[in-house]
Amino acid sequence: MNNPITVTPINHIEFPDLQEVWRSKGLLFYLVLRDLKVRFQQTAIGVLWIVLQPLIQLLIFYVIFGILVKIPTEGIPYPVFYMSGFIVWQLFFQIVNSSTYSLLGNIGIITKIYFPRLILPLSTTIGALIDFVIMFILLLVFLLANHYPITNRYLLLPVLVLLVMVYSLGVGLLFGALMVVFRDTKNLLGFILQVWMFVSPIIYPISIVPEEYRIVFYINPLTGFIDAFRWVFLGTQYLPSVRDLGVSSIVAIALLLAGMYAFRSMENRIADVM
Amino acid sequence: MSRLAVKVENVWKEYQIRHPFESPSTSLKEVLNKPFNWLIKNNNDGRSRREKEVFWALQDVSFEIEHGESVGIIGRNGAGKSTLLKLISRITRPSRGKLAIYERVNSLLEIGTGFNTELSGRDNVYLNGSFLGMSNQEIKSKFDEIVAFSEIEQFIDTPVKYYSSGMFVRLAFSIAVHLTPELLLLDEVLAVGDAGFQKKSQEKMKELILSGATIVFVSHNATAVKEICKRAIWLDHGAIHMDGQAALVVDKYSKSM
C-alpha cells in the first residue's frame, strides 16, 4: 500500500496540510451552504437582513456625522463615503470574528471526528465574501444614484478584496489560536474590534488627521485598504502605488502564514485542552 | 505477510487532570501574575508552568492490525479504549510513540456528528456524510438507499428539529452504515432505535464487516465483541493486558470482572 499517514507527537511548529484541505473541498462546500441556509431559513425576510442592518447603521452615522457633526468628506456625499469604507470593514470584521470562534465554537465536532480544521474558518470566510457581494450591489445602487461612474478602476477590485480576505483570515486565525490558550480573548476581542473600527478611516477621511499623526494610522493596514477601495469607488485622490500594494500584500500574506502556523499548533491541542 | 492497516508503536498518551473551578486554559490573571512563565515552558516530558497532575491514559501500547481484521477493544472504564480510538482516528495526537495508518479511516465515535437541527433531513445527509469522509458522488448515489433504510421518507425535507429522537437516530445511523470504509472505527454505536430497527442495523453492520473492511470496535459489551470480532485486545490501566482470539480474551475478561 502507498504511504501511510503517520501520527506523531505534537511538534511545536507545524503547518496545515493544504493538500488535505483541498481534498476536503466537498465538506467546505456543504459548510458554506449550511451557514447560508440556516441564516435564511430562520428569518422571515432572509437576505434583506444583510442589507437592512448596515442601512440602519448608515442612517445613524449619516445623521450624526454627516448632518450634525458635518465631517468634511472632500465633497463626497456622506452616505457613499461611509459605505465605501464600511464595506471593507464589514468583510474584515466578519472574517476575524468568525475565524476566532471557529475552533472553540465547533468543539463538539472537533472531539468526535477528524477533518482538516482549517476548513472551519475557510467556510466562514467564504460566507463573509457572499455578504460582501450583497453589500457591494447595494453600494453600486448608491454610487450610480449619486452619479459615480463605473470605471476601469474596478478591475483592481478583485485583487483588493482578495488582499483584505487574506489579511483578515490571518488576523482571525491568530486570535483563534490565542483564544484556545487565553479564554480572556473572548472578552478582549469585542473591545479590540471596536477600537479598531474607530482608528480606521471609515466614518471620517484620513485627511482630517493631522499630517504628522497619519503614519500611526497607516500602521493599521486597513487604512491603506480603505483608501484603495475609495479610490476605486469614488475616484479619490489617493492612488495606490504598485509599491504600496506590494507592501500590503506582503504584510497580508505574512500574517496569513503566521496565522496558519498558530492555528495548526492550537488545533492539535484543543481536543486535549477541553 | 498480508498488508498492514494500522501500526501502533510504543504509544503513550498523557492527559492533565483538571480540578473543579480551575480553568482549562491559562487565564489573563495568571499571565499578569507571572508574565514570563509561558516562555519557560518546556516539552512534553518536563514540568511546565505549574506543577501539574498528569494521567497516563495509554502507556507504551504497541500492536499491529492487518487489512480485513476485525478487532475489539475491551476494558474497564478509563482503561484507555476511547483514547486509543481517538488516536487512530487522528482526533488527538500521542504524547510519545507513533502510529501509522495505511487505509482510509471512517470513524464513528458518535452518530450524527455535525447535524444541524435547523436544516432538513436531506441537507443533513449531505453535511454529515461529508463530515464522515464520503464524497459528493458517493452521497448522491446512496441517498435513496440511506433514506429508505432510515424509514423517514415522508419527512426527509422537514427540519430535523421537528424529528422525534427515534427518527433522528435512525437517520444518523443510516448514513453511518452506508459508508464504504476501508478502516472503520466504532465506539459502541450499535444499539439504536426500536427492536425492529436494531435487528436491521445489526445485520447491516455485519454486512459491513463481511465486506472486507478493517474494523476496530470499542465496547463495554463483551458479547458484542465476541460476536463481531475475531480478535480482541484487552486494555487495563492504559496498557495491553491481553491480545488474542476474541473468544479467548473475552472469556478471560468476563471472568476477571
Q: Stretch A86-108: mean pLDDT, rounded?
A: 93
B89 touches chain A (CB under 8 A): yes
DSSP one-letter code for B159: B
How far does A125 lie from chain B, in Å, by closest CA? Answer: 18
- Say which residue, A62 or A50, is predicted with more confidence: A62
Contact B109 A113 (CB under 8 A): yes
CB-defined contacts A:B, below 8 A: 111
Of A41-45, A246-250, B243-247, the least confident: A41-45
Task: Give the total residue count for chain A.
Answer: 274
Q: Which of B181, B186, B246 is nearest to B213 (CA)?
A: B181
B130 to chain A: closest CA residue: A27
Hey, which residues 146-165 in chain B have their CB within 8 Å of chain A?
159
A22 touches chain B (CB under 8 A): no
Instruction: Give this prediction's pTM.
Output: 0.86
**Mean pLDDT, chain A, as a whole number?**
88
Residue-level pLDDT, tens digit, chain B, 257 residues: 578 999 999 999 988 776 554 555 556 666 566 555 555 544 444 444 445 678 889 999 999 999 989 999 999 888 899 899 999 999 999 999 999 999 888 888 888 888 998 899 999 999 999 998 888 999 999 999 999 999 999 999 999 999 998 899 889 988 988 888 889 888 876 656 667 777 777 787 778 777 888 989 888 778 888 888 899 999 999 999 999 999 999 999 988 87
Contact B118 A41 (CB under 8 A): yes
Identify the structural domains of chain B with CATH numbers, from first to last. Answer: 67-256 (3.40.50.300)
Q: Which residues pair with B243 in a beta bridge?
A: B233
Q: For residue B45, what pLDDT is reported? A: 43
Of A43-47, A262-266, B112-116, B174-178, the least confident: A43-47
Q: Stretch A65-88: mean pLDDT, rounded?
A: 89
Q: For residue B115, what pLDDT is reported? A: 92
A120 touches chain B (CB under 8 A): no
Q: For residue B39, what pLDDT is reported? A: 52
pLDDT band at A161 (very low <50, low <70, confident <90, very high): very high
Of A223-227, A262-266, B167-171, B208-212, the least confident: B208-212
Report the alpha-carbon distance of residue B140 to residue A30 in Å, rounded.
13
Say if residues B10 and B64 touch (Cβ distance below 8 Å): no
- Say which residue, A151 or B53, is predicted with more confidence: A151
A14: which chain B residues are within 8 Å (Cβ-Cβ)?
none
Cell of residue B251, nine digits: 472469556
B65: which chain A residues are within 8 Å (Cβ-Cβ)?
none
Q: For residue B208, what pLDDT is reported? A: 76
A8: which chain B residues are within 8 Å (Cβ-Cβ)?
93-94, 98
B95: which chain A residues are within 8 Å (Cβ-Cβ)?
9
Report the alpha-carbon distance of residue B226 to residue B71 in Å, rounded.
10
A106 to chain B: closest CA residue: B114
Contact B118 A181 (CB under 8 A): no
Say if residues B53 and B212 touch (Cβ distance below 8 Å): no
Report the alpha-carbon distance of residue B141 to residue B146 in Å, rounded.
10
Q: How far is CA B201 from the centre of its chain?
A: 18
Q: Helices (DSSP H) in A62-118: which residue ranges?
A: 78-100, 107-110
Q: Which of A132, A140, A183 is nearest to A161 (CA)?
A: A132
How far does B174 lie from chain A, in Å, by closest CA? Answer: 17
Q: Which residues pair with B234 in a beta bridge?
A: B74, B242
Q: For residue A256, what pLDDT is reported? A: 95
Contact B100 A4 (CB under 8 A): yes
B30 to chain A: closest CA residue: A182
DSSP one-letter code for A78: H
ipTM of the complex: 0.82
Q: For residue A243, what pLDDT is reported? A: 77
Hey, which residues 197-256 in chain A have their CB within 8 Å of chain B?
none
Q: For residue B191, what pLDDT is reported? A: 58
Q: For residue B36, what pLDDT is reported? A: 57
Say if residues A176 and A124 touch (Cβ distance below 8 Å): no
Amino acid, single-letter form, for residue B49: R
pLDDT in tens, A190-215: 999 999 999 999 988 888 888 888 87
**Strand locations in B77-122, DSSP E?**
96-101, 105-108
Per DSSP, chain B holds a count of helices (H) and strands (E) of 8, 9
A42: which chain B residues are within 8 Å (Cβ-Cβ)?
118
A158 touches chain B (CB under 8 A): no
Contact B101 A273 (CB under 8 A): no
Contact B25 A181 (CB under 8 A): yes
B41 to chain A: closest CA residue: A12
CB atoms < 10 A from the CB of A228, how many? 25
B176: which chain A residues are within 8 Å (Cβ-Cβ)?
none
Q: For residue B181, what pLDDT is reported? A: 82
A181 touches chain B (CB under 8 A): yes
- Say which residue, A271 or B171, is predicted with more confidence: B171
Q: Stretch A169-193: mean pLDDT, rounded?
A: 90
B63 touches chain A (CB under 8 A): no
